[in-house]
Amino acid sequence: MTSSPTWLQTFLDRLAADDLSAATRRGYRYDLLHFIAWYTGLYDVTPELTRLTEHDLITWRQHMMTQGGLKAASINRRLEAVRRLLRWAEANGTVVRNVALHVKSVRIVREPRPLGLTAAQVHGLLRAAGESSHGLARRNYALVQLMLQTGLRVGEVAALRRRDVVLRERAGTVRVRNGKGRKEREVPLNATARRALRQLLEQEPVQPEAAVFRSGHNTTMPVRSIQNAVAALVRRAGLTGSAITAHSLRHTFALAWLRQHPGQLVELAQLLGHESLDTTAVYTRASAADLARGVEQTPFNLDG
């Protein structure tokens, strides 16, 4: 097993001192360990920061592109981990020059617009949720409706506590206390979501700190359990050929929002908890079906 160089833990400690989240630090550690393993396998010695060259990093980038089977975004994330490492090393005098400074990222081909559920698929999934056995119908129905009507991430749903949900006759909100990037936001609930949550939460009294969605053992549903629950509903609804996941419900909300509110990208980004509009803009791209329909409706008279 490859041994970790001493600079790795020192760097991670620096990230902790800079108040980066534990998840972010784990991500840096994961990516840097991959670099260390590759370098050690190539040179039979663990990398010393002072001996790294720009050529080393270009060779690593090429290895990831041709043999690593990674997407461009993953390659660029790992390159950025080394860039940040070397910026830190340059700032504290460990290295004289940041050799990663001019190493270019891999060009990312724009991904197609995410797919959402059709109206028929939504109805099928909700029907399957409402027919769940073992007393889970209200929970599963509220789970699917909340994700469809708010676009919350699966992790944000798992983290919801009773105190985060406010239900009134004509209004309601859920508070996401620790969204992506450790950002807090408040998301409004429409009448459909309020009704489903009210039926769930009025089923039995719970403490303010109790999880909104709980397993059969009365414990908090973790992310994996929510994903598995949605996957089971997809199978029960006969939608297995559609590649529907729990995250598809977030996509469905975003696409429906833009259909109802054309051009309101800033508002959608706020609801979804996106820091950059570039992330939200993926929902504005034309789908393959949109392009095909446009071509079909645009006949050219080549005989005239």
Q: What is the pLDDT of residues 244-299, one digit of tens each?
A: 999 999 999 999 999 999 888 899 999 999 988 878 888 887 665 665 566 666 65
Burial (0-12, 13-18, 19+ Cβ within 10 Å), 181: exposed
Two tokens at 120? 């028929």
Contact predicate 146/197, CB 8 Å:
yes
User: What is the spatial distance between Cα 56 and Cα 39, in angstroms, rounded to a whole number?
Assistant: 8
| Token pair 């936001």 in the structure block, residue | 185
User: What is the spatial distance between Cα 163 and Cα 160, in angstroms, rounded to a whole number?
Assistant: 8
Contact predicate 194/142, CB 8 Å:
no
Q: Where are the domains of the chain?
A: 6-91, 119-287
Share of the chain above pLDDT 70, in %: 90
Tens-of-pLDDT digits for all 304 residues of the chain?
456 899 999 999 999 999 888 888 999 999 999 999 999 999 999 999 999 999 999 999 999 988 877 888 889 999 999 999 999 999 999 999 999 999 999 887 666 778 899 999 999 999 999 999 988 999 999 999 999 999 999 999 999 999 999 999 899 999 998 777 668 999 999 999 999 999 999 877 678 889 999 986 678 899 999 999 999 999 999 998 778 999 999 999 999 999 999 888 899 999 999 988 878 888 887 665 665 566 666 655 555 4
For residue 181, what are the CA distances in angstroms to 12, 19, 95, 184, 272?
Answer: 18, 12, 30, 9, 12
User: What is the spatial distance between Cα 150 and Cα 272, in angstroms, rounded to a whole number?
Assistant: 8
Which residues, 6+ apart, have CB-to-CB distance to 169 below 8 Å?
Answer: none
Q: How many of the other CB atoms lie within 10 Å of CB of 207?
A: 8
Domain 119-287 -> CATH class: mainly alpha
Contact predicate 139/200, CB 8 Å:
yes
Contact predicate 165/212, CB 8 Å:
yes
Which residues, 6+ apart, have CB-to-CB distance to 106 below 8 Å?
Answer: 61, 65, 72, 75, 76, 79
Q: Could you check whether 6-91 and 119-287 share the same CATH topology?
A: no
Beta strand 172-176 with 185-188 is antiparallel
CATH T-level assignment (fold) for domain 6-91: DNA polymerase; domain 1 (1.10.150)
Two tokens at 223? 């992310």
What pTM did the predictor assign? Answer: 0.62
